[in-house]
Structure 1
Amino acid sequence: MIGWYVHHHGFGHVARFLAVHPHLRTPVVAFSSLARPAGLAPETQWVVLPPDADVVEAADGTVLDPREAEPTARGKLHWAPHGHPGHRARLAMIASAAVDLDLDVFVVDVSAEVVALARLLGLRTVAVTQPGARTDAPHALAYALADRIVAPWAHGAVPTPALAEHGDRVVWTGGISRYDGRTPPESATERSVLLLGRVLEPEVRDEATARLSARGWRVTAIGHDEASRVDDPWPLLAGSTVVVSAAGQNSVADLAASGARAVVIAQDRPFDEQRATADALARWGLAQRADDTVSASDLVDLVERAASTEPDWSRWQVAGAAHRMAAALEAVRP
């Protein structure tokens, strides 16, 4: 059986799990602080882990803020606060399941500490990595311990100095999208732009919408709040003239799957992950690129520039990527 740790920040990690899971022949048990995702096959186990970053109060009234409990072990780890019951419980639950369910492979997307735990338990360990300047000590430890490292983007797109000495264990799958294989709808005859997700401050979004509308664009904004959420954004994603999106790995893979003309806005993320990805897309001519400080007027100019492009998204290697990751995991099994 394969164990799979799904990080709880954002939707990207669980989206990757949901895309790859159907391609696996081996049963999977997932571990995450996230609730069980809708639509997951009922036979797949989903273990909800307790939170490890909340402030807790002990029985004697002592309050523990994990940020003040030496969580990085003097820079050697990312998150392992002293004395936090949630942190201890979640690692104990993973260790217990490794024994009770006889796990033989453990996929970690992402956590340096869980990579270390899995390898110390003697499990064949797969670390999912991300772009950015990940040359710090915790990442170096995780990469050194992992039996396999999965990089879910196109080989050569993003500089990866931290992986240089581990090349024999890295699998470059290409971008993994839940939409791989779906047929795009016919494009609308009118010029349309999709503002996807929380990529703009509300006032910038409103001003950009007004400016674009004045130039004859039909503007749709989804995913920036609960009211604007759409269960299946594919028709809008694939049918819009231009898509404005964040530069996260799953967002970019979805753009590639749809063949979108795009403006990617690099959000502020640890290790400059999205800036590194946005730079790669601009360098390969796949998207117009901006930072999250972009003005409404500059965004309008980028949208109109993107509309005249013909990006070759095949370079991002989305077709078959989820299957390639599944095959890499199966290959690690004894």
Structure 2
Amino acid sequence: MPFKYCYYVHHHGSGHVMRAIEIAKSFHDQQITFMGSDLLKYARHLPDNVNCVHLPYDTPSTQDTEYISTTPSFLHYAPLRVSGLINRNALIVDFFRRNPNTLLVVDVSVEICLLARLCGIPTVVIRQSGQRTDVAHRIAYEAAELIIAPFPELLDSESDNPAMHKTYYAGGFSRYTNVTTKNTFGQDVAIFIGQGGTNIDDFLIRHIRQQLDPFTHLHIIGATSDLLPLEKTTYYDKVHDPSDILATCDVVICNAGHNTIMELADLRKHIICLPAERPFNEQLQKAQYLEQVGCAITVLEKNVYRTDWNECVAKARTLDTTQLAALTNKDAVNNIKRALDHTYNHLLTTASSQNPYE
């Protein structure tokens, strides 16, 4: 059976695959293919309608002793003499050969977008935050039939997005968007550490704990190294669903990862952002937009040890959490599905159902 929709899932962090899962659920009446290098880790979370193409990693293996890490300006990652890169591209092209009338959603990779376009496969690119004005992004955005932003337009600008004119702002969403969650709105504070890399370490946690009011309980959600116990502090390590823990916390300190922000927006938390360093200033730009519209307070990495955290938490509590409603949209996933269906019908429904390569 040919697959109408294919979704390339980037393997850095968990945000890309969790977004893909939510979108796949909206295609409950048909099969959709996921392509990625780290999908097995999420196997128990995948909907029944998802078929997987497991790709080898594109990084040099121990056998690739003569690889050359050079990349031309119109790409982001294209080393020479890496066997995994050749093999994964062969699997992708073979899928296109067997499914020539598929629409590829790319989240995210300039190289995969261009590979598909060179094979005559139309692409829809998921827009990430940040200053995507470099040559590679401009080429990929031009090659794409449509760009979908899983966030509102107020978190973007023409200075960051050169293809704003062809970007569809579907609105943000998270696993809590259409779920009623229990908030007790206590005076606890949480430090929420995502899985995509962080600038929040044990030293900073101890520093924040020392500055907070001694009656404030601190909850640490996410992977950290072992620490000697701290007063009024609870460690949870990685938690699949942190909403019960967050229910007693009115303030959450976190990085500015996309899924983290959207989840906290849906949970209506007072947010303190510590944007981590990312390519294209992805988290920094998002945090600055959030602060501009009154949805969060931003503390830059260079200032984390210069900040009065008691005062920062008090300031965060003055934020109007009703502003967070502008970040997510209960219809966002359905908006994305409709946009994909429209693009597919426009480009591919008139195409012959016969596979020209058979």
Fold shared by both chains (TM-score > 0.5) = yes
Moved more, 136-145 or 315-324: 315-324
1:11 aligned partner: 14
1:48 aligned partner: 54
Which amino acid is the alignment partner of residue 38 of structure 2?
Answer: L
Contact 1:125 1:146 in 2 (8 A): yes
1:139 aligned partner: 137
Q: Which runs of 4+ in 1 moved over 6 A?
A: none
- Write out aligned runs for 1:205-224 (5 A): 205-214=205-214, 216-224=215-223
Structure 1 residue 291: deviation in Å?
Answer: 1.8
Which amino acid is the alignment partner of residue 217 of structure 2?
Answer: R
Give me the whole-angstrom Cα distance separating, in 2, the residues matched to 1:238 and 1:116.
44
Given the alignment, which residue of 157, 169, 173 partners 1:172? Answer: 169
Give me the whole-angstrom Cα distance separating, in 1, the residues matched to 2:292 and 2:176.
24
Change beyond 3 A, Cα 1:33–1:296? farther
Given the alignment, which residue of 247, 252, 275 partners 2:261? Answer: 252
Structure 1 residue 199: deviation in Å?
Answer: 4.7
Structure 1 residue 319: deviation in Å?
Answer: 2.2
Give me the whole-angstrom Cα distance separating, in 1, the residues matched to 2:163 and 2:221.
41
2:83 aligned partner: 85
Contact 1:108 1:126 in 2 (8 A): yes
Structure 1 residue 102: deviation in Å?
Answer: 4.4
Give me the whole-angstrom Cα distance separating, in 2, the residues matched to 1:203 and 1:257.
30
Structure 1 residue 296: deviation in Å?
Answer: 7.3
Q: What is the aligned length? A: 323
Structure 1 residue 224: deviation in Å?
Answer: 2.8
Structure 1 residue 223: deviation in Å?
Answer: 0.7
Structure 1 residue 57: deviation in Å?
Answer: 2.1
Which amino acid is the alignment partner of residue 281 of structure 2?
Answer: D
Give me the whole-angstrom Cα distance separating, in 2, the residues matched to 1:274 and 1:186.
27
What secondary structure, in the 3-state scheme, does the structure 2 residue paired with 1:308 have?
coil
Structure 1 residue 213: deviation in Å?
Answer: 4.7
Given the alignment, which residue of 106, 109, 120 partners 1:108? Answer: 106
Which amino acid is the alignment partner of residue 192 of structure 1?
Answer: D
Give me the whole-angstrom Cα distance separating, in 1, the residues matched to 2:312 and 2:243.
22
What secondary structure, in the 3-state scheme, does the structure 2 residue paired with 1:98 have?
helix
Give me the whole-angstrom Cα distance separating, in 2, the residues matched to 1:284 and 1:238.
24
2:242 aligned partner: 233
Where structure 1 has 5 or more consecutive residues not aligned to the other structure, the ranges are none
Over residues 46-90 of structure 1, what are the superposed CA-to-partner deviations in whole Å (9 max), with x where a residue is unaligned?
2221111234425xxxx134xx332x22x1111111221111111
Change beyond 3 A, Cα 1:325–1:265? same
Which amino acid is the alignment partner of residue 35 of structure 1?
Answer: L
Where structure 2 has 5 or more consecutive residues not aligned to the other structure, the ranges are 226-235, 349-358
C-alpha RMSD of the superposition? 1.9
Contact 2:256 2:274 in 1 (8 A): yes
1:298 aligned partner: 308
Given the alignment, which residue of 107, 115, 128 partners 2:126? Answer: 128
Q: TM-score, normalised by structure 2?
A: 0.85
Structure 1 residue 298: deviation in Å?
Answer: 2.9
Structure 1 residue 308: deviation in Å?
Answer: 2.5
Establish whether residue 22 from structure 1 lines up as the match of residue 25 from structure 2.
yes
Establish whether residue 316 from structure 1 lines up as the match of residue 312 from structure 2.
no
Give me the whole-angstrom Cα distance separating, in 2, the residues matched to 1:200 and 1:165.
33
Give me the whole-angstrom Cα distance separating, in 2, the residues matched to 1:81 and 1:326.
35
Contact 2:131 2:161 in 1 (8 A): no
Contact 2:30 2:49 in 1 (8 A): no
